């Protein structure tokens, strides 16, 4: 079942990639506690829409989220090595953290996994974005297949409280 507004984010261990430090394994309950956060997810690092439009929007608008006191996390069902290389290739600023959900455990716990086997991708995350306060989902947007509208950085900036 897909996570709903008002529910607490599930507690799953993920690898956190941040330009400020080495990769660290962190429980999502600790990661999202005591803060306002946007979590956006992509089907895969280095895939066309994700690399050309989705992540770059968050890179370009990161300062606006930061100015509002909102942390930003991007997630993909990829290993930490891939996510670290993707962060470097996309010039992800320090502070914008990428989450490596290598086995898809977090995506599955959120009820937002998808089967990309027809495209040689295996199990992945659906493209979504959510806004949470203190680990509680306040807003959730899930894209229809093939679309990038409601989960962009611009859409999230317009949707979250100022």
* pTM summary value: 0.96
Residue 6 in domain: no
Does the residue 7 lie in any domain?
Answer: no
User: Contact at 8 Å (CB) between 73 and 30?
Assistant: no
Domain tally, the chain: 1
Q: Which of 3, 12, 14, 50 is catalytic?
A: 50
pLDDT tens digits for range 11-34: 999 999 987 668 999 999 999 999
Instruction: Give the closest residue to 99 by CA, choosing from 89, 86, 109.
Output: 86
- 57-110 tens-digit pLDDT: 999 999 999 999 999 999 999 999 999 999 999 999 999 999 999 999 999 999
In a domain, 4, yes or no: no
Assess whether 50 carries a catalytic annotation: yes
Place of tokens 């320090």: 94
In a domain, 8, yes or no: no
Full domain range(s) for residue 54: 13-159
């Amino acid at each position: 079942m897909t996570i709903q507004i008002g529910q607490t984010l599930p507690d799953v261990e993920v690898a956190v990639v941040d330009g400020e430090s080495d990769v660290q394994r962190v429980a999502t309950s600790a990661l999202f506690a005591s803060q306002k956060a946007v979590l956006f997810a992509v089907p895969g690092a280095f895939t066309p829409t994700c690399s050309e439009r989705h992540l770059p929007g968050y890179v370009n608008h990161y300062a606006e989220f930061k100015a509002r006191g909102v942390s930003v996390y991007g997630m993909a069902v990829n290993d930490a090595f891939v996510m670290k290389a993707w962060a470097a290739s996309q010039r992800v600023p320090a502070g914008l953290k990428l989450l490596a959900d290598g086995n898809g455990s977090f995506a599955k716990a959120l009820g937002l996994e998808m089967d990309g086997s027809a495209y040689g991708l295996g199990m992945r995350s659906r493209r979504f974005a959510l806004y949470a306060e203190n680990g509680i989902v306040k807003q959730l947007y899930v894209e229809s297949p093939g679309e990038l509208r409601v989960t962009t950085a611009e859409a999230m900036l317009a949707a979250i409280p100022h």
